[in-house]
Amino acid sequence: MSWTLAALFVAVLPHLLFMPAPVSITILALLGWRALAAWKAWRPLPGWLRLVLTLGLFALVLVAYGGMWGRRTATALLCVMLAAKLTEMYRIRDLRLVASVCFFLIATQFLFSERMIYLFYLAAGCLVATMALYQIQQIPPERVERIDRPVAPDPRLTARAAGSMLALALPVALIMFVLFPRLSEPLWGLPEQAMDGRTGLGDFMSPGSIANLFIDDTPAFRATFEDGLPDRQYLYWRGPVLWNFDGNTWRPGYHSDRPAEQPVPITDNSIRYRIQLEPHERRWLLGLDHPVRSSLPESSVTSDHVLVSRHPVTGLVQYDVISTPDFFDTPVLTSFQRRLALSLPEGRNPRTLALGAELRERYGDDRELIASVLRWFSEEAFYYNLSTAPLGRHGADEFLFDLRTGYCEYYASAFAVLMRAAGIPTRVVTGYQGGFWHESGGYLLVRQGDAHAWNEVWLEGLGWTRVDPTSAVSPLRIEQGARSVVSGGRFLLDWPWVRDMLNRYDRLQHIWNNWVLGFNADRQRNFLKRLGLPDLNTLSIAMLMLAGLALVIAPIFLVLLKVRETRPTSAAQRAWMNLLRRLRRRGLRKLPQETPDEFARRIAAEQQTASAAPALLELAQLYSRVHYGPPRQEMSEEFIDRARRFSWR
């Protein structure tokens, strides 16, 4: 009973966190009520009340989820109904039902997240549910009516039994995992709400939008490079390119979705790497400047040289990318592009406009102008930190002349306004910069906190050229990542060792992504090919799986049979078998058809010189009383003690 409640609690816990408060409170209340009822031996609720309760809970879920029918609603309904089942859980049958459904419930968590941490949680939940089932099995038939009082539960023994059961199931699970026929498309669009509560990189940029990501340590993607980690200055992971500025927010251009006009060539400097992208529910895939192509089907490169997928990325994807860093982007700017890259909202930022015009007059050459602005950023008292002060109507003015402190989006935005004011076509690029190089794992981990914004200016003879104003203010940011620049802990648990542990954990997550989540139809086919079984259709794979299951289950079954035959059922029997084993080493073998008494007599007859023979006979007779007689604790203990001390002479 208590174990079943515990199993249910473990199973619903991850769901509770994502439920509307009334629903989760109801579930907890039902759980608590049932535990209390068991403790105080309350009478079961009357049938009509249970019916009313069930209908009420159904309505509650529908109302709480606004009548929307989805995976969240369905699992919430399952949780609530299972909790309601507790009100009529007064028979073994019900206990077994609840404990069994817990297995399913805990597995439903994978509908929402495929993170590895849930695997551990799943294992723990399965263990508790198995322990509950084991305990239910221990309820003797005559106590069926009194399920509330636990039957002398020894948690260690139960845990061991349940653990060994699960361990036996492990090979079966492995076979199922490797050989279960994969569909090239998942049955359901997994997982629906991967970004639960988190934002990730958006397709717009406004003050604070990137700084807010800074505290988010969740991985955005991981990259492995064919030829080792490229230089830091190349690690600009290109996300949405923003053209349109309304005075506060930067948004993509109207033409951004169009495919690239000129293909990016592959040169000697091209970087080849593999990306493992966490689901972010947007269409862009990240790549270094400038992506040539990716191995992902239905992906393309836009005219802004952003790698995009046709569908939002809702599950973990892996793809190979080739990027050419020294690409001459857009040698000739069309007049439309030029107009777009120079447009500024009217009547705003007069001081910046004035500065732009002044700079334009002073410097004839665009490059010199840009260099002077960057110099200005680094020499004047500009600070780089996390402050996300709201900016008013003249945002760029306030930032450049008054505030002078902010995160990368402030610099990118103000710099773009200033450039456009000076007549240089400029756009904002968002994405990620740098990442944590996992030395032992050999991969680069890029977190949401590595989100960054920079600019591209169009220069005659150079095309679109990256300018990162942040690097002028704080070169460390680019060299070592944002965390090394912003001093102090970002949140309560932000100690170095915690960070170190998280990094280590990410290594596991990487392996998990690679080998478990990434084991799709292609990988399965490759695996089978290596086994010498190419070109199997789904049916053959299914047959192969069944055959594998039979191969795995048969030996387990045989071993279990064998173990059951010889497994001692009592401590006394264990001591006796131990004694027999010791005697066997002395060449004294008990025949299976012999009773203990017959064995001892035969030994006494055969080994007349042995002084221990009478003692053995006595011991055998004592064992016979203990093993075959009515149970007597003290006699059993005496036997165990004497058997332990017995030695053959």
Partner 1 sequence: MTELAAAESTEVPLAGLQRARQTVNSIIVGKAEVVDLAFTALLAGGHLLIEDLPGVGKTTLAQAMALAAGGSWQRIQFTNDMLPADIVGVSIFRRENEQFEFRPGPIFANLVLADEINRATPRTQSALLEAMAEGQVTVDGRTYPLPQPFFVIATQNPLDMVGTYPLPDSQLDRFLLRTSIGYPGPAEERRLLVEPDRRDLLAGLEAVLDPPRIMALRQQAAELHVSEPVLDYIQALVAASRSHAAVHSGLSTRAALALVQCARAHAFVNGQDYCPPESVKTIFPALAAHRLQPVPESGLSDSEVVREILSDVPVP
Enumerate binding residues for partner 1 (CB under 8 A).
569, 592-598, 624-625, 627-630
CB of 135 to partner 1, least distance (A): 22
Q: Which is nearer to partner 1, 141 or 592 (CB)?
A: 592
Check if the beta carbon of residue 415 is closer than 8 Å to that of residue 394. Answer: no
Q: Which is nearer to partner 1, 3 or 623 (CB)?
A: 623
CB of 600 to partner 1, least distance (A): 12
> How far is Cα 12 from Cα 4, in angstroms, rounded to an integer?
12
Phi, psi of 465 (to 5 degrees): -125, 135
Q: What is the helix, strand, coil percentage profile of the chain, to 5?
A: 55, 15, 35
CB of 595 to partner 1, least distance (A): 4
Q: In this structure, what DSSP letter does residue 242 have?
A: E
Q: Which is nearer to partner 1, 555 or 631 (CB)?
A: 631
CB of 569 to partner 1, least distance (A): 8
Q: Is 17 exposed, middle or buried (0-12, 13-18, 19+ CB in 10 A)?
A: exposed
> How far is Cα 572 from Cα 40, in angstroms, rounded to an integer?
38
Q: Which is nearer to partner 1, 140 or 197 (CB)?
A: 140
CB of 635 to partner 1, least distance (A): 11
Half-sphere exposure of 139 (CA within 13 A, CB side): 24
Q: Which is nearer to partner 1, 525 or 601 (CB)?
A: 601
Q: Which is nearer to partner 1, 70 or 631 (CB)?
A: 631
Tokens 């992506």 belong to residue:
291
Q: Which is nearer to partner 1, 43 or 564 (CB)?
A: 564
Sign of CA dihedral 239, 242, 247, 249: negative
CB of 588 to partner 1, least distance (A): 17
Q: Which is nearer to partner 1, 593 or 608 (CB)?
A: 593
Strand ranges across the sheet with 219-225 = 291-294, 317-323, 271-277, 219-225, 443-447, 436-438
Q: Which is nearer to partner 1, 499 or 601 (CB)?
A: 601
CB of 164 to partner 1, least distance (A): 23
CB of 562 to partner 1, least distance (A): 13
> How far is Cα 393 from Cα 356, in angstroms, rounded to an integer?
18
**DSSP SS3 for 479:** helix
User: Which of 426, 256, 230 lies closest to 326 in space, CA to CA?
Assistant: 230
Check if the beta carbon of residue 467 is closer than 8 Å to that of residue 424. Answer: no
> How far is Cα 49 from Cα 237, in angstroms, rounded to an integer?
60
Check if the beta carbon of residue 463 is closer than 8 Å to that of residue 331. Answer: yes
CB of 69 to partner 1, least distance (A): 55
